[in-house]
Amino acid sequence: MQAEELKYWLWWNYVPGIGPYRFYKLLEEFGSMKDAWLAGETKLEPLIGSKAVAGYKTALTDWDPELELKKVEHFGFRIYCIHDSDYPAALKRISDPPPVLYGWGNFEYGDDMAIAIVGTRNPTPTGALTAKDLASQLSFQGLTIVSGMARGIDSEAHRGALEANGRTIAVLGSGLDMPYPIENEALMERIAGQGIVISEFPLGTKPYGKNFPARNRIISGLSLGVVVVEAAQDSGSLITAGFALEQGRDVFAVPGNIENDRSKGPHKLIRQGAKLVENYRDILAELSIPHLSQTDIQTAAGLELNELEQKVMAVMTREPLHIDHILRRASLAPAQVNSILTQLELRGLVKRYPGQLYIRVK
Smallest CA-to-CA distance from 191 within 161, 232, 229, 223 is with 161
What was the pLDDT predicted at 33? 97
Domain identity same for 118 and 228: yes
**Does residue 250 share a domain with residue 121?**
yes
Domain limit, last residue, from 104, 126, 153:
104
User: Does 120 lie in the same domain as 253?
Assistant: yes
Mean pLDDT in each 10-residue stretch from start to end of the chain (362 residues)? 92 95 97 95 94 93 94 97 95 96 94 96 94 94 95 97 94 97 97 97 96 97 98 94 97 95 96 96 92 63 79 83 86 90 89 87 72
Q: Which of 269, 286, 303 is the last residue of a domain?
A: 286
Question: Is 220 in the same domain as 312?
Answer: no
- For residue 304, being part of any structural domain is answered with yes
Same domain, 111 and 235: yes
3-class SS shares of the chain: helix, strand, coil, % to 5? 50, 15, 35
Query: What does the pLDDT read at residue 181?
Result: 95
- Residue 247 shares a structural domain with residue 161: yes
- Kindly state whether residues 355 and 316 are assigned to the same domain: yes
**177 lies in the same domain as 265:** yes
* Residues of the domain holding 63: 3-104
Q: What is the pLDDT of residue 361?
A: 75
Do 129 and 277 belong together in one domain?
Answer: yes
Up-side HSE of residue 54: CA atoms within 13 Å toward CB? 4
Asked if residue 191 belongs to a domain, the reply is no
The pLDDT of residue 302 is 63
- The pLDDT value given to residue 139: 93
Neighbours of 291 (CB within 10 A): 11
Contact 15, 56 (CB under 8 A): yes
Distance CA 149, CA 151 (A): 7
CATH number of the domain that 349 lies in? 1.10.10.10
Q: Do 271 and 137 belong to one domain?
A: yes
Q: Do residue 62 and residue 206 come from a single domain?
A: no
Identify the domain boundary among 45, 69, 104.
Answer: 104
Whole-angstrom CA distances from 239 to 164, 324, 354 are 28, 31, 43
The 10 Å Cβ neighbour count of residue 111 is: 23
The total of structural domains in the chain comes to 3
Residues 118 and 84 in one domain: no
Instruction: Tell me if 212 is assigned to some domain.
Output: yes
